[in-house]
């Protein structure tokens, strides 16, 4: 059964809320799950990199949207 890509929207939230939202929403998802994470917090990229280093998740790509929102594709460890 394919679950597709899970989208987690943290646009408008400021540190540490985007990463806390992400951690809460992915905690019960299986390894290999693809997550699309949207955030516009300036410290979000660094926070996400640290989270991935600690957990083994991988950031597959990052795209900056025209409105300043960063769209991350993450593969869960």
CATH number at residue 24: 3.30.110.40
pLDDT, mean of each 10-residue run, the chain (77 residues): 79 94 96 96 90 96 94 97
DSSP string, 9-46: E-TT--TTHHHHHHHHHHTTSPTT-EEEEEE--TTHHH
- Known active-site residue 15: yes
Look at residue 42 in the predicted model and tell me its pLDDT: 84
Look at residue 52 in the predicted model and tell me its pLDDT: 96
Look at residue 3 in the predicted model and tell me its pLDDT: 61
φ, ψ dihedrals at 40, nearest 5°: -130, 10
Q: Which domain holds residue 43?
A: 5-75
Question: Domain total for the chain?
Answer: 1
Task: Out of 15, 52, 75, 76, pick the active-site residue.
Answer: 15
Q: What is the pTM of this model?
A: 0.90
Look at residue 1 in the predicted model and tell me its pLDDT: 36
């Amino acid at each position: 059964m394919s679950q597709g890509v899970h989208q987690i929207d943290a646009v408008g939230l400021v540190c540490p809320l985007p990463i806390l939202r992400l951690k809460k929403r992915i905690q019960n998802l299986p390894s290999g799950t693809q997550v699309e994470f949207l955030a516009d917090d300036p410290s979000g990229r660094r926070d996400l990199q640290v989270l991935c280093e600690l957990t083994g998740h991988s950031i597959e790509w990052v795209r900056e949207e025209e409105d300043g929102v960063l769209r991350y594709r993450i593969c869960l460890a």
